[in-house]
Structure 1
């Protein structure tokens, strides 16, 4: 898996949060890092972290 995107909706069906995780692998196929981005649509907040 290279990228996973999760979307969270409110009761009205509006998208309020999106979480995107990107997986990074070395040449041997071992996962070496993850990068997660969170986008909150109500307040335009963007958070990013690398693991």
Structure 2
């Protein structure tokens, strides 16, 4: 994700277990977004909460 205010790029790498993938797929279906969009939004929220 690119932070335009600070001109920095964060690269996030992680592993997701099968159960979590199933949960992400359920969320994706309910929100009508693809899995990567759901993951991206979760990362954005996490970073916002932990950079205060």
Q: TM-score, normalised by structure 1?
A: 0.24
Greater relative contact order structure (CA < 8 Å, 6+ sep):
1
Q: TM-score, normalised by structure 2?
A: 0.24
Q: Which has the higher helix share?
A: 2
Q: Which has the higher strand share?
A: 1
